[in-house]
Structure 1
């Protein structure tokens, strides 16, 4: 009885902040206000099949995939380097990785505007060596940079956690059997660290495909992602039926992605490539 009472606040919190909003979004996607009052409608989903909106979704997925791959390419070696440090150095490195996350997400993103702007810091440095100002802001490259900067810690931390818990005797056994560093990494380290990679990919791809703050600030009107489209439907156009329909489609896409990644590492034990 006491155990059930102790879990009641958590269950109530989850119900109010997770289940209820999801049910509301699903309801708005299937019900719209017509001349005769609320009525069942799939018009929001049908409207989203327009090539213009599908192009926005495709661009969002493409940029999210690019940011995920870049975070993995940068984050995995960084996590390996951190795992090989002494405990005191690991704590310092962890602090350096987590420190930017203590700042507000909006401020972190906004800080790139004076850096990438036409009269910004980076163009000022380039001007000193005779390079004319470059258009570094309000394009897909700026949005991609903002995503990698903001979401890189979500890739590094899961991989680092798996690597420091890895049984070193397995690596030593592979080395004793004559495996060089490349073989040890490809046949031992990478498969055993796959649970961390899968977690990192999930934690980067999901916010990247649905973000709107980064594209608003660093993409301007030149980069319109599905997150911006949803935000505009709720806050500007007031077409909640269409906005909720897009949200449901996006949630389905994320769930399918999670299912695919879960099949890749079903038991959380890593996958052998050989």
Structure 2
């Protein structure tokens, strides 16, 4: 037998301590690009926005602004532009609801009925993204023109009368420069943001569960609301968020398709920043809109209760 007495044991403390330390540093290096990106394009702009909302309201672009922590800017901005703020949330909500109804039917057809045409239909859904957002919106001015066939058909079937009763058009049977035109533009431009999450969610639904509902004598409608729709809720929540959030802050559709009576909060913010040079009010409006949307999103996600999003 070989004796090991007197041989000092080899210490592995240094090597075992070095590995965890190296792994921790590797993790920090991996998240560094993302952290720098968030710092440059989120934290710093957000700080600048909040700072501008607290400027002295008596300042101007010519005389300059001073940081006076004037919290009253928020109260003044809300009281002055609460009409545009409420209109923005209403238009965004109606556009989101319309996108949900139309987008769900389209996503359901692609997921369960398209067959070998599925990929082609998905390409057609995202095809508008290959065209400028501005050009897509301008095209609706031609579609809803007063002498166009769309207005003619709407007048013939008295659709304009119905829209006028519910306040979406004016009394002269026009579709352009009305709330209907703005909501139609928002719906068209943001519809793909609703369809794609819905399709991704419906694609994961096991068709055997729907067949089992039929085997248990559930009608197609009852099987849809008891099986298909609950399983697609993550897509519904994601789609509505991706549609409502940008629609609430949009100003292009209201600028090109609406009138002075359909201005949204995005139009006011854009005008205050670029034309009037009222940075204090513009910053306050931006923060107010952001807080409202964040609060609404948190309440909505909590109410929806989907585990994949909470």
- With normalisation by structure 1, the TM-score equals 0.89
Question: How many angstroms apart in 1 are the aligned matches of 2:223 and 2:152?
Answer: 45
Long gaps (5+) in structure 1: none
Partner residue of 2:33 out of 9, 28, 48 = 9
> What SS class does the counterpart of residue 179 from structure 1 fall into?
coil
Q: Is 1:40–2:69 an aligned residue pair?
A: yes
Partner residue of 1:245 out of 278, 281, 284 = 284
Q: Is 1:158–2:197 an aligned residue pair?
A: yes
Identify the residue that residue 179 of structure 2 maps to in structure 1.
140
Identify the residue that residue 258 of structure 2 maps to in structure 1.
219
Partner residue of 1:108 out of 136, 154, 168 = 136
Q: Is 1:84–2:123 an aligned residue pair?
A: no
State the 1:2 CA deviation. 3.8
Q: Is 1:231–2:264 an aligned residue pair?
A: no
Partner residue of 1:185 out of 202, 206, 224 = 224
| Change beyond 3 A, Cα 1:37–1:15 | closer
Contact 1:113 1:120 in 2 (8 A): no
* Higher Cα Rg, which structure: 2
Identify the residue that residue 68 of structure 1 maps to in structure 2.
96
| 1:181-200: CA deviation from partner (whole Å, max 9, x where unpaired) | 11110111111111110111
State the 1:265 CA deviation. 3.1
Contact 2:51 2:67 in 1 (8 A): no
Contact 2:54 2:67 in 1 (8 A): no
Q: Is 1:25–2:49 an aligned residue pair?
A: yes
Question: How many angstroms apart in 1 are the aligned matches of 2:51 and 2:115?
Answer: 51
| Change beyond 3 A, Cα 1:172–1:125 | closer
State the 1:97 CA deviation. 0.7
| Change beyond 3 A, Cα 1:172–1:224 | same
- With normalisation by structure 2, the TM-score equals 0.79
Deviates more, 1:40-49 or 1:241-250: 40-49
Long gaps (5+) in structure 2: 1-24, 60-64, 157-171
Question: How many angstroms apart in 2 are the aligned matches of 1:32 and 1:246?
Answer: 15
Question: How many angstroms apart in 1 are the aligned matches of 2:35 and 2:147?
Answer: 51
Contact 2:54 2:71 in 1 (8 A): yes
| Change beyond 3 A, Cα 1:218–1:16 | same
Between the two proteins, the alignment pairs up a number of residues equal to 266
What is the aligned-residue RMSD (CA, Å)?
Answer: 2.5
Question: How many angstroms apart in 2 are the aligned matches of 1:184 and 1:223?
Answer: 41
Identify the residue that residue 53 of structure 1 maps to in structure 2.
81
